[in-house]
Amino acid sequence: MLKVNDKRYKIMKLLGKGKSGYSYLASYEDVLYTLKKIHHEPCDYYTFTNKIESELSDYQTLSNLNILMPKLIEVDKENEIVIKEYIEGKTVLEKIQNEEDISLEIILVKNIAEHLKNNNINIDYYPSNFILYCDLLYYIDYECNEYMPQYDFDNWGAKYWFKHVDFTKKI
């Protein structure tokens, strides 16, 4: 159990660890959520200012651009915890590792990338940050930054999405 703003969330399992926090599947009153607990472990390739404030600011930026993401349910700034809507399904990374078809996800992420580029924004295109649910691609992280071509989907993200694709294979 973890107390967040006077509510007790039952932690069910670890979903993953990112640059800024640990995400857990949690429940409150029989509803599933993603509970993200900010950590302050060193990250040698990324510099953070205030992680909880960045999380909230980035969520607002992406919401204003109509990016499909889990809804922000509540925040406990003092304990650096974010409660998000839980999006059910496999991440794109899990699908890649299981050699499942991600052709729809690729079309959708390219549309997202083009929209964000046109608005001078990059997101973290690593495939563990995306889940296809009801044929809609959700960006399950909130991280975003000012657009830089070297970190857009085509120049950075695609190498992780296509890493296990055999382009010599006949269709």
Pairing state between β 81-85 and 72-76? antiparallel
- The residue segments making up the domain with residue 114 are 92-161
pTM for the structure as a whole = 0.89
Give the mean pLDDT of the chain: 91
- Does 19 reside within a domain? yes
The CATH number of the domain holding residue 15 is 3.30.200.20
Answer yes or no: do 80 and 7 share one domain: yes
Contact 24, 15 (CB under 8 A): yes
Answer yes or no: do 59 and 7 share one domain: yes
Answer yes or no: do 80 and 10 share one domain: yes
Residue 34's beta-bridge partner residues? 25, 84
- Does 155 reside within a domain? yes
The DSSP call for residue 43 is -
- Does 168 reside within a domain? no
Residue 47 binned pLDDT confidence (cut-offs 50, 70, 90):
low
Answer yes or no: do 11 and 75 share one domain: yes
The backbone torsions φ and ψ at residue 107, rounded to the nearest 5 degrees and listed phi first, read -60, -45
Single out the residue in 85, 110, 145 at which a domain terminates. 85
**112/60 Cα distance (integer angstroms):** 16
Residue 19 binned pLDDT confidence (cut-offs 50, 70, 90):
confident
- Whole-number pLDDT of residue 49: 73
- Does 132 reside within a domain? yes
Answer yes or no: do 73 and 50 share one domain: yes
Answer yes or no: do 77 and 33 share one domain: yes
Task: Tell me how many domains the chain contains.
Answer: 2
Summarised one tens digit per residue, pLDDT across range 81-116 is 999 999 999 999 999 999 999 999 999 999 999 999
Single out the residue in 58, 85, 112 at which a domain terminates. 85
- Quote the tokens at residue 140: 């399950």
Phi-psi region for residue 88, left (φ > 0), alpha (ψ -120 to 50) or beta?
beta
Percent of the chain with pLDDT over 90: 82
Answer yes or no: do 127 and 66 share one domain: no
Residue 14's beta-bridge partner residues? 24
Single out the residue in 46, 61, 85 at which a domain terminates. 85
**91/126 Cα distance (integer angstroms):** 10
Answer yes or no: do 115 and 143 share one domain: yes
Contact 130, 139 (CB under 8 A): yes
